[in-house]
C-alpha cells in the first residue's frame, strides 16, 4: 500500500479561526468532504462552502453545553481505523463509519485563560476534552491520518496540500504527529501545574526553542528554550550565543536589584559584575562603572536601569562590548551603538521572572525558589559598639545587592554607590578578600572609608582584620558563625562598624 495518501475527508474543530479560511477553500477546491462542529461549522458555512455537521454522522446532538460534541465511535472510528487491516475495513463498512483523513484542531486557550486571572470555573471550562482526544487519536494513527493540532501548523498544511494536490507523505504525517503530541503534552502539563500542590512533583514544558551557534564551547551543541522575545526586543547585532544568554540572565537579575533607584549602570563578565555605579545621570553612572575594572569590561555585557541617551552611547561606543541592555534608548543612541556590526542591542521589557530556578544535577534536576530577599535597612542589626553612618548604610546595602548576585565565595567593596572591587568564586573567603584588595589597588582605588559585604559569615576574624588593614570602615554579613564574637571583638577594638542581616546569599 502506498505511503502517500490523498486527503478526501476532513474534520475541522478549532477554537481560533485565524488562518483557517485558505485551508478550507483549498480543501473545497480539491473536493474534500468537510465535517465540523459548532462555531467552526458556522464559520465554514459563512464562507459559502458545504460542511457536514458532526451530528449527521453520529445521529446524536451536541450536549452538555458543548462539552460533548465529537466523542463518538463513528468519529473516532473514522480517525483510528487502520486502512491495511481487514477487520478494521470490515467494521467501518458494517457500522457505516465515514473515513476521516485529516483532523484540524486548535485547543481551548487554557494557559491564556489562567494568565488572564480568570476565575476557576472559567479556567475549568477551558480544559479541552474532545479536542485533545481528537489530537491523540489522529496522531496515533499517523500512518493513515493527517493531524494539525495548532494554528502554528496551518501554514505547513496549506503548503503540503497546495504543492502536492491534497496528498501527504508518511514522513510529513509523522512530522505533524510529532508536533501534535508536543501540543498535547504541553497542554496537559499546563493543566497539571494549575492543579498541582505537591512541591515534590516537578513537570515543565516549554513550547518554544531555538538552536544556538554552539554551547559554552564550540564543540558543544547549544539550545535555548524560552520566550526570549517576551523579555527583549532585539534592535541590532548578531545572534546571541549560549554564553551571551548566561551573561544576559545574570545582568537582568543584578539590575533588578536597582530597578527603582537613580540611574544605575552595570558591566558584567562571566556572570559577575566587574563594574556598577549609581549616579544622577546615566553617562556618569556608566563612566563610574567602567572605572571599576576597565580591563574586565572588554567584551562584557552592559545593562542600565533606565534610558540610554546619546551622551552615554557615545561613551559606550569606544568600548568593545558584546551586549547593551536597557529599558529604552534614544534614537540617536541606537544609531551610535549600531555602528559596531555585531554589537547586540536589547530593549528589556518589564516581565516578571519565574519564581523557581532549575538546573541539571547528576542524573536529575535541582529546583529552588528564587532568592527574592534583598537586604534592607530594617534588616540590619548593629552588633558592634560603632554604628555605621548613613552614608555607610547606603553603601552597605548597595554592596549587599552586588554580593547577592556574585558567585560565591565572594567579597564586595563599595564606596559612594560604586563597586570598587570584588573577589569572586574563590574557594576561601580570605582569598576572595585578598583578590578584592588587589583589584582595588590595581585600578587606583583608595579603600579608606569603603565598606565590605560578604555573602556568608566569617568563621574567623582574619577577614575583618585584612579588611580593616586595607581601610574598610563598615561591614555587612549574615552572621551565624559560632565564632561571630571573635570578628565582633576585633571590630570593636578597631572602631569598625559591623551589621548582621541574618540572610546568607550563596550563589553557586
| SS3 state at 422 | strand
Choose the catalytic residue: 26, 28, 140, 186: 140
d(CA 127, CA 110): 6
CA 161 and chain centroid, separation:
36
- Distance CA(160)–CA(139), nearest Å, equals 17
Nearest of 446, 390, 399, 438 to residue 418 by alpha carbon: 399
Quick check: 459 and 481 in contact, CB under 8 A?
Answer: yes
Q: Which helix (H) or strand (E) holds 294?
A: helix 294-297
What does DSSP assign to residue 378? G
Under a CB-based contact definition with an 8 Å cutoff, are residues 379 and 502 in contact? Answer: yes
**Cα 292-295-296 angle, rounded to 5 deg:** 80
| Radius of gyration, alpha carbons of the chain | 31
Residue carrying the nine cell digits 534614537 = 331
Neighbours of 287 (CB within 10 A): 16
For 175-227, give the DSSP string.
Answer: HHHHHHHHHHHHHHHHHHHHH---TT--------EEE-S-SSSTTS--EEES-
Q: What is the full DSSP assignment across 5-32?
A: EE--EEEEEES--TTTHHHHHHHHHTT-
**Phi then psi for 356, rounded to 5 degrees?**
-120, 150
Q: Contact 505/406 with Cβ under 8 angstroms? A: no
Residue 28 known to be catalytic: no
CB count within 10 Å of CB 32 equals 18
Verify whether residue 349 is a known catalytic residue. Answer: no
Q: Which of 182, 234, 270, 340 is catalytic?
A: 270
Residue burial 227-265, b: 16+ Cβ < 10 Å; e: rest:
eeeebbeeebbeebbbbbbbbbebbbbbbbbbeeeebbb
d(CA 147, CA 105): 8
User: What's the rounded Cα separation, in Å, for the pair 502 and 193?
Assistant: 33
Strands 381-382 and 497-500: antiparallel
Catalytic residues: 140, 270
Amino acid at each position: 500500500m502506498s505511503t502517500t495518501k490523498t486527503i478526501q475527508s476532513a474534520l475541522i474543530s478549532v477554537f481560533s479561526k485565524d488562518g483557517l479560511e485558505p485551508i478550507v477553500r483549498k480543501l473545497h477546491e480539491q473536493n474534500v468532504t468537510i465535517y465540523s462542529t459548532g462555531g467552526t461549522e458556522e464559520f465554514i458555512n459563512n464562507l459559502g462552502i458545504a460542511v457536514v455537521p458532526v451530528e449527521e454522522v453520529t445521529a446524536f446532538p451536541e450536549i452538555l453545553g458543548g462539552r460533548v460534541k465529537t466523542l463518538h465511535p463513528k468519529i473516532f472510528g473514522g480517525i483510528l481505523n487502520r486502512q491495511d487491516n481487514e477487520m478494521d475495513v470490515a467494521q467501518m463498512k458494517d457500522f457505516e463509519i465515514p473515513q476521516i483523513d485529516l483532523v484540524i484542531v486548535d485547543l481551548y486557550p487554557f494557559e491564556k485563560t489562567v494568565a488572564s486571572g480568570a476565575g476557576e470555573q472559567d479556567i475549568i471550562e477551558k480544559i479541552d476534552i474532545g479536542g485533545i482526544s481528537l489530537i491523540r487519536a489522529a496522531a496515533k494513527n499517523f500512518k493513515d491520518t493527517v493531524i494539525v493540532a495548532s494554528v502554528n501548523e496551518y501554514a505547513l498544511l496549506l503548503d503540503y496540500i497546495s504543492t502536492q494536490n491534497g496528498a501527504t507523505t508518511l514522513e510529513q504525517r509523522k512530522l505533524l504527529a510529532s508536533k501534535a503530541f508536543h501540543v498535547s503534552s504541553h497542554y496537559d502539563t499546563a493543566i497539571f501545574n494549575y492543579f498541582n500542590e505537591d512541591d515534590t512533583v516537578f513537570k515543565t514544558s516549554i513550547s518554544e526553542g531555538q538552536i544556538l551557534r554552539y554551547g559554552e564551547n564550540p564543540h558543544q551543541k547549544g539550545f535555548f528554550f524560552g520566550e526570549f522575545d517576551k523579555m527583549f526586543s532585539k534592535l541590532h547585532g548578531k545572534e546571541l550565543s549560549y554564553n551571551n544568554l548566561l551573561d544576559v540572565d545574570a545582568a537582568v537579575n543584578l539590575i533588578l536589584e536597582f530597578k527603582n533607584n537613580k540611574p544605575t549602570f552595570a558591566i558584567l563578565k562571566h556572570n559577575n559584575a566587574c563594574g556598577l555605579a549609581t549616579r544622577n545621570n546615566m553617562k556618569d553612572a556608566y563612566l563610574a562603572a567602567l572605572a571599576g575594572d576597565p580591563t574586565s569590561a572588554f567584551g562584557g555585557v552592559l545593562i542600565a536601569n533606565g534610558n540610554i541617551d546619546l551622551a552615554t552611547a557615545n561613551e559606550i561606543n569606544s568600548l568593545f562590548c558584546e551586549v547593551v541592555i536597557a529599558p529604552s534608548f534614544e534614537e540617536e543612541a541606537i544609531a551610535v551603538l549600531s555602528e559596531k556590526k555585531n554589537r547586540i542591542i536589547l530593549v528589556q521589557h518589564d516581565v516578571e521572572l519565574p519564581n523557581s530556578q532549575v538546573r541539571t544535577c547528576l542524573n536529575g534536576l535541582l529546583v529552588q525558589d528564587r532568592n527574592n530577599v534583598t537586604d534592607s535597612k530594617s534588616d540590619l542589626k548593629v552588633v558592634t559598639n560603632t554604628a555605621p553612618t548613613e552614608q555607610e548604610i547606603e553603601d552597605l546595602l548597595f554592596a549587599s545587592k552586588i554580593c547577592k548576585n556574585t558567585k560565591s565565595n565572594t567579597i564586595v567593596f563599595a564606596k559612594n554607590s560604586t563597586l570598587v572591587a570584588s573577589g569572586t568564586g574563590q574557594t576561601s573567603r580570605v582569598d576572595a578578600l585578598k583578590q578584592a584588595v588587589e583589584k582595588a589597588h590595581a585600578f587606583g582605588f583608595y579603600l579608606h572609608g569603603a565598606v565590605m559585604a560578604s555573602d556568608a559569615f566569617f568563621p574567623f576574624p582574619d577577614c575583618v582584620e585584612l579588611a580593616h588593614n586595607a581601610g574598610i570602615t563598615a561591614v555587612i554579613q549574615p552572621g551565624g558563625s559560632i565564632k561571630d564574637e571573635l570578628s565582633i571583638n576585633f571590630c570593636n577594638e578597631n572602631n569598625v562598624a559591623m551589621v548582621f542581616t541574618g540572610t546568607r546569599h550563596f550563589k553557586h
